[in-house]
Chains A and B, each alone.
Chain A
Amino acid sequence: MSLLEVKNLKTYFHTRAGTTRAVDDVSFSINKGEIVGVVGESGSGKSVTCHTMLGLLPSPPAKVEGGSVTFDDQNLLHLPLPILRAIRGKRISMIFQDPMSCLNPYLPILEQVVEPILTHEQTSREEAESRAIEMMIKVGIRDAETRARSYPHQFSGGMRQRAMIAMALVTNPDLLLADEPTTALDVTVQARILQILRELRNDLGVAVLFVTHDLGVVADVADRVVVMYRGKVVEQGSVLSIFENPSHPYVKGLLACRPTFETKYRILPTVEDFLHAEEAKDGSLTLRERPNAMERLSNLENKHDPKDFRREPEQTLLEVKDLKVHFTSGSGFSRKTRQTVKAVDGVDLSIAKGKTLGLVGESGCGKTTLGRAILGLVHAHSGIVRYDGAVLQASDMRSYRKRMQIIFQDPYASLNPRLTIEQALTEPLTVHQIGSGSSDRRERVVSLLEEVGLSSAHLLRYPHEFSGGQRQRLCVARALAVEPEFLVCDECVSAMDVSVQAQVLNLLNELQESRNLTYLFISHDLSVVKFVSDEVAVMQAGRIVETNEAEALYRQPKDPYTQKLLDAVPKSDLKELRERQRRN
């Protein structure tokens, strides 16, 4: 008898633009004490499923069109609100993605952890408080007694997420719905949270529905996996069976397009290599497997050509010496309140022409600031940036703008929403007087668009009419408009789904070959960095702790911090999974 059973659930969104079938005939179940991972890309309906169960969706526009969610012999979808409320937070708890916005900043942590107990149980305040503190210790909040009265802003991101988990588990629920609980966290913190979830499952027997976009995390934490695609469950089964023998083409593609430490090829396969999706006029999808997809994959592997470092003499394009960027907080006239943050604190690095240097580090380590300081977008406190033999000065930075470009993390924010694509791409040409006359410039813009996989049909459109992946292509095209030699890619695929990420990474690799570009690739994702980089530098607290050739650094990390980062990455290779299965 399963604890929760979702049967033929259908949740549609009715808007003026039409009906979106966010969840379309979804069925799965969770047993007591089981961790089930629901995986899918953005728009797959995984979060909507989760929210539908507890009736948390705004209606309208959302409407449950059919199906049932059975929990404890009751259909949650038809329960009157007072009864549902007694289940919410008591028997089924939920944790959310962003621990920053899910805790009330005006209440001490303890107050918030106690609240579910006081709401759902007839207990004295003292008892509730002692239980809350006990739970906070259990989820790994050190000195819980003393820290319990702190406010959320005094906690770090990982600690806040732990507080959220404590808050969810303090009433001893049977089921925990975790909606992307580790997405906003660093890998080392994520590893701790996943471990805590596993331990809690073993100790308390709580079942967890773990919603995430990250296959690696699922492989690490879940017993069973449900893969969703465009509102439908395309495959479900045990972790090992899904990773070892995926049967659905989408799952095959999803697994293949994700760079891992073991990826050997230079071009990633994409989901489209495996899956052919046809959308009928009424919005229904027909999914077909492309023939000989696996063959194509093996071709890719064969194509692999180990990058030969000694083929030509290396020529250093960019050299950074003892670069320091210090920020002073508190502006205005008063000097007393100022505090200095050493974001970048003495960094040396060099990049050879045509190569990629990967820069990894956790949030707040200064990697983004370093990238911007190299381009002169933030003022460097001291140090030297030497580009192509010449020392960069703030005064003649504008002449170097043509040669060095940057691609940002958020493709939504990096295009001016008021300019058409043509305007946005023509502007750099006009400013730097590239091309002669408007017709020549238009031709250049069209060829740029084609280079990044878009077409002239998009010229007159506005950024908001493109998807995230397309927008990032547009940003790449704009950066390439001035024909730079050097690109800083600042977390440029971090906000993307894996299938889109694969396309953008492939694009970057192709462009590097065709234009002989040099990249500084900044990311928190160690697998992606390994995939794109020739050399990798690991950054911690404003300093670079280790630099080495990519393969060597991942195989034999020298610095303990590098080791810690590598250990924290969720492992999803089959060997590891089989071993785990054997242990259980």
Chain B
Amino acid sequence: MPEGPASEFEQGSSLWKDARHRMGQNKFAMGSLCVLGLMILLCFAMAWFCKDPNKVNLVNKFAAPSEEHWFGTDALGRDLFARILYGGQVSILVGLIATAVSVAIGIIYGAISGFIGGKTDAVLMRIVDTLLAIPFLVLVIVLQATLSNFSGEVTQWIVDNWGWDKQFTSRLTNVVPLFFALGLLGWLTLSRIVRAQVLAIKEREFVEAAVALGYSKSRILFRHVIPNVLGPTIVYSTLTVPGFIMYEAILSFLGLGVESPNSSWGVLIKEGANFLETEIQLLLLPGLFFSLTLFSLNFLGDGLRDALDVKASKD
């Protein structure tokens, strides 16, 4: 860091600001950010102007791309473009919501475990170990099935009490259990990462200085420890978003996630795979959107990792 005489009240540049600057220099990461922005815009804004993704038209099945159906139609004559966009909503939301849930749980759980230490830490970490020992997908399926049991009742309740549209509500209650099932189980690795970071930060002298200055435990945890573990956490969580999208696709592909006629990229790929030999675009087009999103997210994660590299805080 170059040093010069400071002018009056010179605005310092925080580590976050430095990271933003480094991020801005990374063309791959910025490109990925643009692709993702475009994807979100497409799926959430364009979708309103699209055709009904669930409108069946058996006469017009397997139609070639045309002005009316940009990507053609599927086996039931539904508009593929609309289905991809609506499917994208589900997939992107799975990624974001599940990550948000898992990050929230993971940071708090890991920070508490690492900060308190001792027996609390040992117990909390053994719980994580136990959960990690059970195959992730099995747990997700069980949890999602349990949560889904109530989806019918919840739909009815919402329609009765809040007067929401029935079709919309049932779409929602179909996918929400999946969001939470993934989120509620996805924090395990994250909590270990946060714990390890907290253990390292806890040994740093500024934390000891804070104790010596008589700060309270919660102040030290929330003001001095957690902000310093956010960097690696953010990096890790950007890399979990594609993971969750992938899990949703796997579950849907297996017929356990999002159910037809609702669409998601996993559902579309599964449906497309049935017509692999004759109508390959039914597989390729959703697959293209899916891969493009995952690529961008991974590039973004890499860019963030470079930008938030903690080395910068040293000199």
Closest chain A residue to B14, Cβ basis: A462
Task: Check A460/B11 contact, CB under 8 A, given A18-B2, A333-B122, A478-B209.
Answer: yes
Query: Contact between A431 and B219 (Cβ–Cβ < 8 Å)?
Result: yes
* B interface footprint on A111-128 (CB within 8 Å = 1, 0 otherwise): 000000000000000000
In the assembled complex, the Cα of A478 lies from the Cα of B214 at a distance in Å of 12
A460→B211 contact, CB < 8 A? no
Contact partner, A431, options B10, B208, B213, B313, Cβ 8 Å: B213
Partner of A414, one of B205, B214, B313: B205
The one of A18, A377, A460 in contact with B208, judged by C-beta atoms closer than 8 angstroms, is: A377
Cβ of B27 within 8 Å of any chain A Cβ, yes or no, is no
**Which of A176-184, A262-270, A401-409 sits within the interface?**
A401-409
Most chain A CB within 10 A, of B6, B11, B213, B313, is at B213
| Complex Cα spacing A427 to B209, Å | 12
Give the docked Cα–Cα distance between A22 and B11 (Å).
29
Q: How far is the CA of A455 from the CA of B210 in the complex (A)?
A: 23
Complex-state Cα separation, A377 to B205, whole angstroms: 11
Give the CA-CA distance A479 to B208 in the complex, in Å. 12
Q: Is B6 within 8 A of A458, CB to CB?
A: yes
Give chain B residues whose Cβ lies under 8 Å from the Cβ of A464: 1, 15, 312-315
State whether B213 touches A428 (Cβ < 8 A): yes
Bound CA–CA A499/B10 (angstroms): 27
Chain B residue nearest in CB terms to A332: B122
With a CB–CB cut-off of 8 A, which chain B residues contact A465?
Answer: 1, 3, 12-13
- On chain B, the residues within 8 Å of A458 by CB distance are 6, 10
* A462 close to B12 (CB less than 8 A): yes
- Contact partner of B212 (CB less than 8 A), chosen from A377, A457, A459, is A377
- B227 adjacent to chain A (CB < 8 Å): yes
**Could you tell me if A414 and B6 are in contact, using CB atoms closer than 8 angstroms?**
no
Contacts of B10 in A (CB 8 A): 457-458, 460-461
Cβ-Cβ contact count across A and B, 8 Å cutoff? 114
- Cβ-defined contact, B209 with A475, below 8 A: yes
**Which chain A residues in 142-182 approach chain B with CB under 8 Å?**
none
Minimum CB–CB distance from A220 to chain B (whole Å) comes to 31
Binary interface profile of B, 190-220, with partner A (CB < 8 Å = 1, else 0)? Answer: 0000000000000011101111111110010
Cβ B214 vs Cβ A398 within 8 A: yes
Max count, chain B CB within 10 A of own CB: residue among A377, A416, A457: A416
Contact between A377 and B213 (Cβ–Cβ < 8 Å)?
no
Indicate whether A457 sits within 8 Å of B6 (C-beta atoms), given known contacts A332-B122, A413-B205, A464-B313. Answer: yes
- Flag whether B68 is at the interface (Cβ < 8 A): no
A66 interface residue, CB < 8 Å from B?
A: no
Give the contacting residue for B213; candidates A405, A419, A456; CB below 8 A.
A405
A-B residue pairs, 9 tightest by C-beta: A401-B214, A461-B12, A414-B205, A457-B6, A408-B205, A417-B313, A413-B205, A462-B12, A418-B227
Beyond A377-B212, A431-B214: 20 further Cβ-contacts under 8 Å? A333-B119, A377-B208, A405-B212, A409-B205, A410-B205, A414-B205, A414-B208, A417-B313, A418-B15, A418-B16, A419-B223, A420-B12, A431-B219, A457-B9, A460-B9, A460-B11, A462-B13, A462-B15, A478-B209, A482-B214
B contacts, CB < 8 Å to A: 1-3, 6-16, 117-119, 122, 204-206, 208-216, 219, 223-224, 227-228, 312-315
What are some 14 contacts across the A-B interface (CB < 8 A)?
A: A406-B212, A415-B209, A416-B227, A416-B228, A428-B215, A456-B8, A457-B10, A458-B6, A460-B11, A460-B12, A461-B6, A461-B11, A462-B14, A464-B313
